[in-house]
Structure 1
Amino acid sequence: MRKALAFSLLAVMLGGCASDPAKTDVGGTWINQVAIDAASKGGPLREALQAYGPNLEWEINTRAGQARYTNGFEIAEGKVIADPAGSWKVDFYGSSATELKRDGKQLLQAANDNEPEQVFDRPKDPAPEGAPLGANFERALYTAYMGGSWKILSGPGEGATVQFQGDGAVQGLPGADRYALCLAGDCASMSGGNDNLWLQQNGQGNAWIFMRKDKQLEIFQAVNTAQADEVPSLAPGTRQWLLEKQ
């Protein structure tokens, strides 16, 4: 009797290991690390985001059956349910379902009629608790793409060292104490195919066009070429700074 009971308990334990929900659960926060890695090579930011996006961050609560993601501009919310095949289905209001699946330590978003296949990873340096959706992606992107020390080769503050922080703070750049990279939405559509960022000091700021090539970063004044009654259209004007990563 004891042997039969022992074998029964062992079978339950082995069965539990074989179907370990932790290996298939998609719950938690996931960021598009592939897009970040592509951008960190030193090329145009928008090209990397468009090539490996458009979704940048997922936040999934499988226990509550809730899931949402951001593309850097909009937030989509839906209901997530487990599929017997081992994947998860996210139903969004007014659109087709999205399939998610764990592949080891990564989250795979299956391709559909609207979006290509996308891959997500856990954030290595999570944003503070309570941060808005997208903050984990921004923190990782800012650190990888803008992090480190930059020397001002030309422009105001020439010769100084500039440091862009993962939380959006900037030190050493004259006239700025905060920055934000344009990821998507109105700021992207207004600048055509150019990358742009926002620089501000004491809560007041402006949009700037930038061009990144390897270790060099050029920041240009953003000139609005549209008429007064038209949607703004920003183009690069006079170069303000040339920075080089050290």
Structure 2
Amino acid sequence: MRKALVASSLLALLLGGCASNPADRDVSGTWINQVAIDAAAKGGPLREALQSFGPNLEWEVNTKASQARYYNGFEVAEGKLLGEKSGAWSVDFYGSSATELKRKGKQLLQGANDNEPEQLFARPKEPAPEGAPLGANFERALYAAYMGGDWKILDGFGSGAIVQFQANGKVAGLPNVDQYSLCLAGDCASMSGGYDSIWLQLNGQGNPWIFVRKGKQLEIFQAINTAQADEVPQFTPGPRQWLLEKQ
């Protein structure tokens, strides 16, 4: 009987230890806004999905150094971890309300405050190369989900060709284009108004373009600047350059 009680006590301790596993409360490392990526991957407007589930797109947390940073599509904000209380970490950003971070299962939960809504983040499935800037993990995952696969040019220069937009920003098959970058937020978003925009370049030289995503179809338009020479550029869709369809 005594042996049975001892065994039961040991089992309870082991189970208790599993339930309070420090790894389950660890907020350290890189986290991306997978919810926003999943919403965009449905094939609708990109910035609409990012605005609905943003604004923050990637977190990098270092509890040992008491540091936390986030990327929102156009800038990086650096904060200081003030400490942990009941599994929640408070992050102080100069000039704004403190942000609370804590684990929610396998995800990272950013609590709502006066400036931002509640958001959920996940570990990147395919981390960016070591040394990549903050935001690279989110962008790689977004590019793979939103632009990945084979696209056929239905209309425009190169009609019939198969195009691939790669997760690292490279392009194959689109005439006179070898790299691309999606506009997530910031100045490029302000200049394109309510339209989604994409930067297309060849050999380091490029221009902004307007695009419209509707399910499996992707239209790319010339970006016409309607502003005066001394004003901030304002782009609107011009003639359509390409119509692509995801295969």
Deviation of the 1:15 alpha carbon: 5.9
Residue of structure 1 in register with 2:38 after alignment: 37
Q: Residues of 1 paired with 2:39 and 2:196: CA distance?
A: 15
- C-alpha separation in 2, matches of 1:12 and 1:245: 54
- Aligned ranges for residues 6-25 of structure 1 at < 5 Å? 16-25=17-26
Aligned to 1:132: 133
- Aligned equivalents of 2:10, 2:64: Cα separation in 1: 27
Do the aligned partners of 1:62 and 1:81 also contact (CA within 8 Å) in 2? no
The 5 A counterparts of 1:50-65 are 50-65=51-66
Secondary structure of 1:43 counterpart: coil
Using the TM superposition, name which of 207-216 and 81-90 deviates more: 81-90
2:85 is matched with which residue?
84
TM-aligned CA deviation for residue 138 of structure 1: 0.2
Q: Which residue of 1 aligns with 2:158?
A: 157
Farther-moved stretch of structure 1 (199-208 vs 10-19) = 10-19
Determine if the alignment matches structure 1 residue 113 to structure 2 residue 111.
no
The change in CA–CA distance for 1:38 and 1:10 in structure 2 (over 3 A counts) is closer
Give the deviation of 1:7 after TM superposition: 11
* AA aligned opposite 1:121: A
Alpha carbons 1:157, 1:173 under 8 Å: kept? yes
| Cα distance in 1, alignment partners of residues 82 and 14 from structure 2 | 25
Counterpart residue number, 2:94: 93
List per-residue Cα deviations over 1:7-58 (Å, max 9, x = no partner).
9998986665443211111001000000000000000001000000000000
**Residue identity opposite 1:148 in structure 2:** G
Q: Which residue of 2 aligns with 1:205?
A: 206
Aligned equivalents of 1:192, 1:102: Cα separation in 2:
36
Q: Is there any run of 5+ residues in structure 1 with no aligned partner, and where? A: none
Question: Does structure 1 conserve the Cα–Cα contact (< 8 Å) formed by 2:154 and 2:244?
Answer: yes
* AA matched with 1:215: K
Structure 1 residue 70 displacement after superposition:
0.6
Paired letter, 1:71: N
**1:124-177: CA deviations, max 9, x gaps?**
111001100000000000000000000000101000000000000000000100
Question: Secondary structure at 2:140's aligned position in 1?
Answer: helix
Match of 1:243 in 2: 244
For residue 196 of structure 1, give the secondary structure of its aligned residue in structure 2.
Answer: strand
Alignment partners' CA distance in 2, 1:63 and 1:69:
17
**SS where residue 83 of structure 1 aligns?**
strand
Q: Which residue of 1 aligns with 2:190?
A: 189
**How much has 1:82 moved relative to structure 2?**
3.5
Report the TM-score, using the length of structure 1 for normalisation: 0.94
Q: % of aligned pairs identical?
A: 78
Does the Cα contact within 8 Å between 1:171 and 1:177 map onto a contact in 2?
yes
CA distance in 2, matches of 1:11, 1:70: 42
The letter for the 1-side match of 2:86 is: A
> Could you tell me how far apart the structure 1 residues matched to 2:180 and 2:31 are?
24
Q: Distance in 2 between matches of 1:198 and 1:183?
A: 11
More divergent stretch after superposition (162-171 vs 86-95): 86-95
Q: Which residue is equivalent to 1:167?
A: 168
SS at match of 2:209: strand
For 1:215 and 1:95, how far apart are their aligned partners in 2?
41
1:65–1:12 Cα change, 3 Å: farther
Q: CA deviation at 1:71?
A: 0.2
Q: CA deviation at 1:84?
A: 2.3
**Within 2, Cα distance between the matches of 1:178 and 1:102?**
37
